Structure 1
Amino acid sequence: MQSHARGHLVYAAGGVLAVRTERGTSIVPADRVAWTPAGCTHQHRAHGDTDMRIVFLPPSLARRVPGQPAVFLASGLAREVLLALTRPGQDGDAGPDHSRSARLRLLRVLVDELREAPEQPLHLPEPRDDRLRAIARILYETPADNATLAELGKAVGAGTRTLSRLFRSELGMTFHEWRTQLRIHHALVLLADGHDATRTAYACGWANPSGFIAAFTDVMGTTPGRYRTGHRAPGHAS
């Protein structure tokens, strides 16, 4: 875990990144951009053949993006700016190929693009209640577990009504929504590691591939097959 004096953007040019903070974990598949504010303790983890690019924002521009961690869809222009700012020979902060003013102009364009981009529903909030944390541990370790909330409640010593209320009040979503989000996170990691849609579906707890494809497409806007073939990393990891 680490933190920085300036907020930063992390771009997955290829592969899948996971960004963990005290608020939860955000999954960052290819062509998404994760924002982590200044001073926010975080951890990056790469899955698959990942090409990770990092850009720090000056405070004047950081004020224009959210005050909490977020994931955005990268537009074509945002991708090109990110790649230009982080191409080989650049250090992610100030490189020899850009004057300071030219680099600042690129950063302004990037922030403008992100302000127009929709936030992605790829954040999995971290529970605080001990009972929810116990359920989270079970499902993190075995995402294919299809136990009902009532069955999980028996394992952690809480009733269904109490747990349902806690999921809504603490995490802002239902148990079903939270578990689906967790499974999508796990699916993105498996796809990055080269697994096909059928194997991924069963490993993540879907009864059949069609159910997985529908859920994945609803969140990601594309099918697992198209995502897997269209988001391969370049021939190196960084």
Structure 2
Amino acid sequence: MQSHARGHLVYAATGVLAVHTGRGTSIVPANRIAWTPAGCTHQHRAHGDTDMRIVFLAPSLARRIPDRPAVFLASGLAREVLLALTGPHNYDHAPPAHSRAARSRLLRVLVDELRETQEQPLHLPEPQDDRLQSLARMLSERPADNASLTELGKKIGASSRTLSRLLRNELGMTFYEWRTQLRIYHALVLLADGHDTTQTAYACGWANPSSFIAAFTNIIGTTPGRYRAIRQSPVRGA
């Protein structure tokens, strides 16, 4: 885990990224941008053939976006600005292709674009309660397990009512919403590793591919098949 004095934006031009912080995990599929505030200890993990782009923000710009980890949809303009700022290949320390003044203008445009777009439901908050942490481990280790909250609660010594209350109070989610987001995270990783839609659906606990496609589309905004096509498309200028 590492920490930066400046907040930074991470964009996966190809592949899928997971950004782990003490507050949770942000999933960064194609056409999404993850924001990590300054001083937030974090770790990046790549899945699939990933081209990761990183842009740091000065405090004057960082204060215009949330002071917590978040994921944003990358508009066409935001994507082009990110690619312009990082060059054909980023490697974390790409030589500057623009003057300081030009970079400053591009960064302001990028932040303006993020402020105009909706946050994406792709940040999985890290539970603090021991019982929820145990539940999270079980769900992460066996995403295909369709056990009810009552059945899972018996394994960790907590009632479904208690777990539901903790989920609502700590994470602001129902059990169904939380498990769905966890499964979508695993689905993105499997798709990045080359699994097809049907394999991914069953591996992540959906009863059939059509219900998986509906849930995936609801959260990611496109079908798994279209998402794979977008993810595998070449990056301009790469």
Question: What is the CA deviation profile of residues 34-70 of structure 1, one whole-angstrom value per residue up to 9, with x for unaligned ones?
Answer: 0000000111000000010000011111111111010
Q: What does residue 159 of structure 1 align with?
A: 159
Q: CA deviation at 1:91?
A: 7.2
Map 1:26-37 onto structure 2 (within 5 A).
26-37=26-37
1:33–1:73 CA contact under 8 A, matched in 2: yes
Q: What does residue 224 of structure 1 align with?
A: 224
Change (3 A) 1:49 1:187: same
In the aligned structure 1, how far is the partner of 2:169 from the partner of 2:204?
26
Change (3 A) 1:150 1:6: same
Question: What is the CA deviation profile of residues 163-186 of structure 1, one whole-angstrom value per residue up to 9, with x for unaligned ones?
Answer: 111110111100110000000000
User: TM-score scaled to structure 1, two decimals?
Assistant: 0.95
Q: CA deviation at 1:97?
A: 2.5
AA paired with 2:10? Answer: V
Map 1:1-238 onto structure 2 (within 5 A).
1-88=1-88, 95-232=95-232, 234=234
In the aligned structure 2, how far is the partner of 1:32 from the partner of 1:51?
13
AA paired with 2:118? Answer: P
In the aligned structure 2, how far is the partner of 1:233 from the partner of 1:25?
26
User: TM-score scaled to structure 2, two decimals?
Assistant: 0.95
AA paired with 1:101? Answer: A
In the aligned structure 1, how far is the partner of 2:121 from the partner of 2:141?
22
Q: CA deviation at 1:88?
A: 4.1
Change (3 A) 1:60 1:99: same
Question: What is the CA deviation profile of residues 101-128 of structure 1, one whole-angstrom value per residue up to 9, with x for unaligned ones?
Answer: 1110111111111110110010111111
Q: CA deviation at 1:99?
A: 1.1
Mind listing any 5+ residue stretches in structure 1 that lack a counterpart?
none
Mind listing any 5+ residue stretches in structure 2 that lack a counterpart?
none
In the aligned structure 2, how far is the partner of 1:56 from the partner of 1:20?
17
AA paired with 2:176? Answer: H
Q: Give the SS at the match of 1:50.
A: strand
Q: CA deviation at 1:89?
A: 7.3
Change (3 A) 1:94 1:178: same
Q: Give the SS at the match of 1:231.
A: helix
- Identity of counterpart residues, as a percentage? 78
AA paired with 2:74? Answer: A
In the aligned structure 1, how far is the partner of 2:211 from the partner of 2:24?
26
How many positions carry a matched residue from both structures? Answer: 236
